[in-house]
Structure formats: structure tokens, C-alpha cells
């Protein structure tokens, strides 16, 4: 069995094609499945002392430490950073403050001689004093030999302050240096930056939330939770009038030449893909690529991919009758760039196959954005898409999209996606979803994150039991370089149709070095530890 899912341009044709994300027909190759992520001690400045001496008044109450810190934050106009597990934020505390200095209030509720705090600007870091970490000011060195690079490792979790849930795929980075990563599905990130950037600020942002800037010196070698507040659009900001989603869509397409790259750029990206069978991982691959990304108006065939480093882990039972692999995943992730590989839900030329609806006004990087929902027309009996598109309100930049194959037509999609299978094998798709987002840099937007998830079940004829498979591919841009961009030599290019997880690798113990990655989720890490001894190949 083989599944092909890849963006392709073109309108309705008699024969199903896949190259642009217009519908299932235009996704040949995008996700092909085969069966057979230092404690820097800064002397307290006068501004810092004034914050700790700030008067706080809060009525007497018994609450959690988490809620107590939130109340203090509102009163003192400050932001707290801490590791929830170290701090035991769910612990009950007695909070009472009648015009008491902030420092005294903190001492009372923390009530732990091993906990201390330090202030930088409006941020207060609470940390454990007796911890085996590098001495203050020491920079980690993780790249041996002639490539020794001094850098700082920043780690933390991003949470929604309102419901305490993790925020996946949040953008984390140093904006002015176009350096960053994204959080995994647990909301965790790990970011390596040059030591020379210790005096800068880390920016955390996500659609629908207020962005937050955190001094790097507070996070150096000190994992911390970062709590983002949802941005609620006030009624004064919303003009009560009819908003034509079609007009917004047309303006967004017209403004691509203003909002997106008109010159080629280098993207240093982290890529990963994995396959699960009955909730057990059978393969996992990850890599760092340098991508030559051509301008938005040049065909995707002009993009090039150069492999910098990769590794994979595989645990397959030789008795398995069904094997799933991601084919063309690397190229497919890049082709989820909907600004460049225009999908059908962005195409307004006849015949129109989608209905668009203005849904909401949301926030992204302190800017308002239209949320436009789309679904295939009732009369179209093909496997197309449904989802939400986000378009920036002022400049009509496409910020991203979340979409899926219309659930009612997944059976129809199967015929087009299965490339090879036994006649005794029944294949049924359960869900196929996509997400893509863009990041701003120097007045232009660039591909930031792309992900595809597929769920499928298989059953041999005359068998009662089924096997359930889930597979994903994910790509995140970690660095953007706009200077001296030229195409790669032919011999360095990764073949577009390569089966990435099948590529040979060589062992290298000093692995990622200074490259940024998406940290594996907790469950994934545990799963990989169980199978890592079976087959691990590294390049």
C-alpha cells in the first residue's frame, strides 16, 4: 500500500492529479505512506529594587500558589517565570497583603529557603538555589573539535494562563536575529543561541495570544514556564458591518508581492516524521536541512533541499504484513507553503469549489487578523478541504491556516492516495489534517511551521481485527538568511522523491551540536528510549 499526498496546481480535471493543495486530487506526494526541543546573576538596579518594594494589597484568601502569583502579578504589574514542578504551583497557600512590599509577600507565600528570585525589568524569576547547574556566567560548550561554538540553551514550557493547558506550535525566538524554533505538542521548547545574544530578549508568540518578551539572562540554564494571555478584541476595535471574506481573500492574494519574499532565501529548518502502529512507534526520523527557497511567484520545483544532519530510529517486526513509511515528506512539508503552492481554498477563479465565511477577529503578534472559514460547496462531490485561514487585517498577509480533508469524503480520497497494496488489504482513512504558519522578518513573511497528520486503519480480508496507524511530518524554520543566496551544487541536493526514512546514515555521537530542533514530546521520548537499541542510524 502506498499513499501519495502532495500540493499541485490546477483546477478540476477528468483525471485526479496531486501537486497543489487544491484538494485530495492535488496532493500527490505530500504525505506518501507505503505499506508491505546560566543562571546569569545581574546586580539589582534601582528599577528592580523599586519593583520588589512596590506596595501590594490583596484580600485574605486561601488559594493555590499559581493563583496567588497571578493575583500579585496583576497588582504589581509584573510577570513571573518559574518551573511549575520545582515550585509546586498547585500547593495551597495563605495569601494576605495590606500594603506590603512585594518582596515580603513573595517570601511569605514561597516559604521555602531553597527558593529565591531575581528581577530583570518587569520579569521575576523564581528558582531553586541548590541545584547542580553550571556556575553563574558559565556558557555551555557542546560542539567539540574545531567547531567549538559558545552558546546558551534556553528551555521552557509555554502555557495558556487561563486554562493552564500547553500551547503547541508557539513561535519562540530572537526576532532581530531571525533565530528560533517552535514548541512541541507538550508546549516545550529548547533553543540554542550564541552567547553574544545574552543581553537580548526572547519573544514568544502564538495566534490568539499576547506576545511576551523575556530577558534571555533569566532563562539561561534555568527552565521556566511562560504563561501567555489571550488577547480579547474589544468591541471598540470591531466595526459592526458585513465583512466580505471573498474580498479579503482577493486582497491577500494581490498583496503576496508586498508581504512575501521576492528574492530567494536560505531557510535552516528542522524536520521530523514518525509512524505509529497501534499506539507503538515503528519508525521516527529527524533532520536539519538548509533550504534554498525561491520567491513566492516561482514554481516549487525551483526550491532545493540540502541535508546537513539526520538520524532515524526504527522498530519493525519482520512478521508485519503492513509497513507504513512517509514518502516525499520533506518536499511535501515545503509544499504546504500555501502562499507559494496555492491551494483550492485560496483560488477564486471559476469554477469556484469553496464557500468562505468570516468567522472571527483574532490576534497575532499584537496585530488583528481575520479568521476565514472555508468548506467545499454542497454540490461538489469530491474530497476537498474544510478549515480556517488567518489573514492579517492591515496588510492582508496570510499568517497561516488549519485545514483537513473533508471527513465526509475520506473514502473517496483513499482510492487516490493508495499507490500500492495487496488485494487482500482494506484501507480506511480516519483523519487527514494540515497546519501551516508564517513568521515576520524585515517586513516580509516566511514559512515558519508546517505539519501533516494522517490516521488510517487496515484490515486483511477475512480477519476481524484491524491495525491502526498514525503518521506525521513536521517542519520548522529555525533561521533565515537573506544574504548571498545562491543555488546549491547539484551533487549536494536531496532528491525530491526520496524516501527520507530509508536514507543511509552514519554514527556520530556529537549530534545536533549548535543546530536548533523541535524537542520530542514526553511520550515520544519514552517510546524512543524503548526502541532505540533496536535500530538507530545517524548521519
**177, 182, 181: which is closest to 194 by C-alpha?**
177
pLDDT at 501 (0 to 100)? 56
Provide φ and ψ at 337, rounded to 5°.
Answer: -70, 90
The SS3 of residue 518 is coil
Q: Is-contact 168 521, C-beta < 8 A?
A: no
**213, 229, 230: which is closest to 73 by C-alpha?**
229
Strands 188-194 and 224-228: unpaired
* Whole-prediction pTM: 0.83
pLDDT at 238 (0 to 100)? 53
Find the distance separating the first CA and the last CA of the chain, reported in whole Å: 28
Domain 46-128 has CATH 3.40.50.360: no
How many whole angstroms separate alpha carbon 412 and alpha carbon 384? 10
Instruction: Provide the sign of the torsion angle of the four alpha carbons 38, 218, 364, 388, taken in this order.
Output: positive
Please name the residue ranges forming H helices in 77-191.
Answer: 84-87, 102-110
Grid cell 532545493 — which residue?
A: 304
Q: Is-contact 30 8, C-beta < 8 A?
A: no
Query: pLDDT per residue over 461-501, tens digit each?
Result: 888 888 898 989 999 999 999 999 999 999 999 875 565 55
Grid cell 501533516 — which residue?
A: 452
What Rg value do the Cα atoms of the chain yield, rounded? 25
Provide φ and ψ at 430, rounded to 5°.
Answer: -100, -40
What cell was used for 497?
522523491
pLDDT at 313 (0 to 100)? 80
How many whole angstroms separate alpha carbon 323 and alpha carbon 276? 10
pLDDT at 314 (0 to 100)? 77
| HEC string for 452-513 | EEEEEEEEECCCCCCEEEEEEEEEEEEEEECCCCCCCCHHHCCCCCCCHHHCCCCCCCCCCC
Instruction: Provide the sign of the torsion angle of the four alpha carbons 170, 172, 175, 177, taken in this order.
Output: negative
The number of beta carbons lying within 10 Å of the beta carbon of residue 256 is 21
How many whole angstroms separate alpha carbon 6 and alpha carbon 29? 4
Q: Tens digit of pLDDT per residue, the chain (539 long)?
A: 444 444 343 344 333 233 334 455 444 444 444 333 233 333 434 444 479 999 999 999 999 999 999 999 999 999 999 998 888 889 999 998 899 999 999 999 998 888 898 899 999 999 988 654 444 434 444 444 434 458 889 999 999 999 999 999 999 999 888 899 999 999 999 999 999 999 999 999 999 999 999 999 999 878 899 999 988 765 555 555 678 999 999 999 999 999 999 999 999 999 999 888 888 888 888 999 999 999 999 887 889 999 998 888 877 555 555 555 555 678 888 889 999 999 999 988 888 899 999 988 888 877 889 999 999 999 898 889 999 999 999 999 999 999 999 998 888 877 666 666 667 778 888 999 999 999 999 999 999 999 999 998 888 888 888 889 898 999 999 999 999 999 999 999 987 556 555 555 534 445 788 899 998 888 888 877 776 554 444 34
The SS3 of residue 136 is coil
The number of beta carbons lying within 10 Å of the beta carbon of residue 285 is 26
DSSP H or E stretch at residue 50: helix 46-52
pLDDT at 435 (0 to 100)? 96
pLDDT at 22 (0 to 100)? 44
Where exactly are the structural domains of the chain? 2-36+259-511, 46-128
pLDDT at 508 (0 to 100)? 41
Amino acid at each position: 500500500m502506498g499513499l501519495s499526498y502532495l500540493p499541485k496546481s490546477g483546477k478540476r480535471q477528468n483525471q485526479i492529479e496531486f501537486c497543489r493543495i487544491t484538494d485530495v486530487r492535488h496532493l500527490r506526494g505530500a504525505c506518501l505512506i507505503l505499506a508491505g526541543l546560566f543562571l546569569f546573576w545581574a546586580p539589582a538596579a534601582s528599577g528592580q529594587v523599586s519593583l520588589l518594594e512596590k506596595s501590594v494589597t490583596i484580600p485574605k484568601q486561601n488559594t493555590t500558589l499559581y493563583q496567588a502569583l497571578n493575583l500579585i502579578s496583576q497588582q504589581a504589574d509584573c510577570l513571573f517565570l518559574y518551573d511549575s514542578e520545582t515550585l509546586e504551583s498547585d500547593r495551597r497557600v495563605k495569601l494576605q497583603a495590606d500594603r506590603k512590599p512585594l518582596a515580603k509577600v513573595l517570601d511569605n507565600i514561597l516559604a521555602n529557603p531553597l527558593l529565591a528570585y531575581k528581577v530583570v525589568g518587569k520579569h521575576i524569576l523564581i528558582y531553586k538555589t541548590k541545584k547542580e547547574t553550571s556556575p553563574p556566567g558559565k556558557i555551555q560548550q557542546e560542539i567539540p573539535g574545531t567547531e567549538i561554538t559558545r552558546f546558551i540553551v534556553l528551555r521552557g514550557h509555554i502555557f495558556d494562563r487561563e486554562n493552564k493547558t500547553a500551547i503547541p506550535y508557539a513561535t519562540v525566538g530572537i526576532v532581530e536575529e531571525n533565530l528560533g524554533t517552535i514548541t512541541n505538542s507538550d508546549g516545550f521548547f529548547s533553543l540554542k543561541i550564541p552567547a553574544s545574544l545574552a543581553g537580548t530578549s526572547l519573544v514568544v508568540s502564538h495566534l490568539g495570544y499576547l506576545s511576551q518578551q523575556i530577558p534571555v539572562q533569566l532563562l539561561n540554564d534555568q527552565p521556566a514556564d511562560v504563561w501567555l494571555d489571550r488577547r480579547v478584541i474589544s468591541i471598540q476595535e470591531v466595526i459592526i458591518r458585513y465583512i466580505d471574506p471573498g474580498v479579503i481573500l482577493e486582497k491577500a492574494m494581490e498583496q503576496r508581492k508586498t508581504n512575501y519574499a521576492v528574492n530567494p532565501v536560505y531557510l535552516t529548518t528542522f524536520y521530523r516524521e514518525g509512524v505509529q502502529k497501534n499506539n507503538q512507534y515503528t519508525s521516527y526520523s529527524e533532520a536539519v536541512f538548509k533550504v534554498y527557497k525561491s520567491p513566492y511567484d516561482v514554481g516549487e520545483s525551483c526550491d532545493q533541499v540540502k541535508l546537513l544532519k539526520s538520524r532515524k530510529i526504527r522498530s519493525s517486526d519482520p512478521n508485519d504484513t503492513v509497513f507504513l513509511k512517509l514518502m516525499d515528506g520533506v518536499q511535501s512539508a515545503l509544499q504546504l507553503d500555501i502562499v507559494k503552492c496555492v491551494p483550492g481554498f485560496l483560488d477564486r477563479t471559476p469554477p469556484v469549489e469553496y464557500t468562505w465565511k468570516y468567522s472571527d477577529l483574532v490576534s497575532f503578534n499584537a496585530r488583528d487578523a481575520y479568521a476565514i472559514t472555508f468548506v467545499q460547496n454542497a454540490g461538489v462531490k469530491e474530497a476537498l478541504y474544510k478549515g480556517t485561514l488567518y489573514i492579517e487585517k492591515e496588510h492582508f498577509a496570510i499568517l497561516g491556516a488549519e485545514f483537513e480533508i473533508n471527513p465526509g469524503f475520506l473514502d473517496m480520497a483513499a482510492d487516490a492516495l493508495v499507490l500500492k497494496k495487496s488485494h487482500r488489504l482494506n484501507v480506511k482513512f480516519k483523519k487527514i489534517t494540515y497546519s501551516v504558519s508564517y513568521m515576520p522578518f524585515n517586513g516580509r513573511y516566511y514559512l515558519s511551521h508546517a505539519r501533516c497528520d494522517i490516521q488510517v486503519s487496515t484490515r486483511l480480508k477475512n480477519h476481524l481485527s484491524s491495525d491502526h496507524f498514525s503518521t506525521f511530518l513536521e517542519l520548522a524554520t529555525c533561521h533565515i538568511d537573506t544574504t548571498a543566496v545562491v543555488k546549491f551544487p547539484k551533487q549536494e541536493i536531496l532528491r525530491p522523491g526520496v524516501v527520507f526514512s530509508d536514507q543511509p546514515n552514519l554514527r556520530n555521537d556529537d549530534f545536533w551540536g549548535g543546530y536548533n530542533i523541535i524537542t520530542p514530546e514526553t511520550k515520544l521520548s519514552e517510546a524512543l528510549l524503548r526502541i532505540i537499541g533496536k535500530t538507530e542510524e545517524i548521519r
